[in-house]
Structure 1
Amino acid sequence: MQALEQRKRLLVEKHPSGATSLNNLAGLYYYQGRYDQVEELLGEALGQRKRLLVEKHSPVVTSLNNLAELCYDQGEELLVEALGQRKRLLVEKHPSIAISLNNLASLYDFLGRHDEAEPLYLQALVLFKHLLEIYPEC
């Protein structure tokens, strides 16, 4: 909280690192079960990143993904957007794409949409296997 307050005071909410503090605090609150505060902080971080960065900038996509994981009711739209942005921004076989594929598949699985989840899980699995061949120490 102190880091966030100092960043807000020093950067006057005009620098993306303030959104990083919001995101980190939201992570802490998530593990503490303070979900009502998590959604507010993630939404604020996303808004700040969208305001300060190019819409397709990687931290904006990360904020979309984090918020989507929390908000299952809006999650599909946000996860699809995050996956699309990552596919446009990153190299074809980037680990973040595998993570986005897996996150969207998990949402579909949770919602009982198993036929939609399976191909995404399979794509993520192929990509993770490829990455492990390249980086076996992971």
Structure 2
Amino acid sequence: MGDYPKALEFYEKAHKIYEKALPPNHPNLAISYNNIGTVYKNMGDYSKALELYEKSLKIREKALPPNHPELASSYNNIGQVYKNMGDYLKALVFYEKAHKIFEKALPPNHPNLATSYNNIGAVYKNMGDYSKALELYEKSLKIREKALPPNHPELASSYNNIGQVYKNMGDYSKALIFYEKAHQIFEKALPPNHPNLATSYNNIGAVYNNMGDYSKALEFYEKSLKIREKALPPNHPDLATSYNNIVLAVLDLVVYDIIVDSIQHEGD
């Protein structure tokens, strides 16, 4: 985890110098506002982050041509803050503004274009429009499969996102295919006790649980828990999630065994 208060201290020192030395619409002043905004965003202070990102954007809209990549970066950052605040309609407006610039400025298989499709897809997913989310996630994946090496983390992210959409749509077989593709990359790219690997085990376990294969779900939930107990502090929310998932899987398995046993006895 970053030392955000320390980062903030030094970014603000730099900003004071820029304010004295530069004209009010200088691009470097916009970068400075952007840097401080990112620290506040990472600290979870979204209203402060938004205020600073908007100051950065105001300068960039005056100082830069309309299709400049830094303008796209500002729109993207503001979109991300609105997404984190749960204001998905505003997030969509700014993500799509960024995307229009990327489409004009970048070659069709550029990784940043894939990220843009992914961002917009995530908003549609959070809005419950799974078919639209899937369409955008697949566009992102198509670019990443061409542009990135086969074990790149962003490929795993795409597979994971598509798996999540299929899970939300109730297509558990397809969800499992994409979650397992993501997991194969995580296993090669990450150390064995990395929290993302635990999340991957948890995701696969959840699909098996929804498919009614409670013993398989329990197996993956326990693998996830084993990593989380080593990697996370004892009061971390992900640990609570693991404990909860295991309890529910055990209860479902007990109920399932009782029902199966009852059916067998009725047939005797």
TM value normalised by structure 1: 0.92
Indicate if the aligned counterparts of 1:61 and 1:82 stay in contact, CA closer than 8 A: yes
CA distance in 2, matches of 1:4, 1:73: 32
Instruction: Give the aligned partner of residue 108 of structure 1.
Output: 208
Indicate if the aligned counterparts of 1:7 and 1:13 stay in contact, CA closer than 8 A: no
Instruction: Give the aligned partner of residue 8 of structure 2.
Output: none
AA at the equivalent of 2:119: N
Any residues of structure 2 matched to 1:39-118 within 5 Å, and which?
Answer: 39-71=134-166, 72-118=172-218
CA distance in 2, matches of 1:46, 1:84: 16
Give the CA deviation at 1:4: 1.3
1:131 to 226, 231, 253: 231
AA at the equivalent of 2:141: L
CA distance in 1, matches of 2:181, 2:134: 18
Q: Deviations over 1:20-61 (max 9, x none)?
A: 111111111112122111010011111110111011111001
- Secondary structure of 1:27 counterpart: helix
Are 1:11 and 2:106 matched, yes or no? yes
CA distance in 1, matches of 2:230, 2:112: 33
CA distance in 1, matches of 2:233, 2:125: 33
CA distance in 1, matches of 2:107, 2:97: 15
Residue identity over aligned pairs, in percent, reads: 26
How many residues align? The count is: 137
Give the CA deviation at 1:14: 2.9
TM value normalised by structure 2: 0.49
Any residues of structure 2 matched to 1:31-46 within 5 Å, and which?
Answer: 31-46=126-141
CA distance in 2, matches of 1:130, 1:4: 40
Runs in 1 of length 4+ with deviation above 2 angstroms?
none
CA distance in 2, matches of 1:51, 1:65: 18
CA distance in 2, matches of 1:55, 1:39: 21
CA distance in 2, matches of 1:5, 1:76: 33
CA distance in 1, matches of 2:173, 2:136: 17
Instruction: Give the aligned partner of residue 122 of structure 1.
Output: 222
Give the CA deviation at 1:133: 4.0
CA distance in 2, matches of 1:121, 1:73: 18
Unaligned runs of 5+ in 1: none
Unaligned runs of 5+ in 2: 1-95, 167-171, 239-268
Give the CA deviation at 1:109: 0.6
Choose 1 or 2 for highest CA Rg. Answer: 2
AA at the equivalent of 1:102: N
Give the CA deviation at 1:122: 0.6
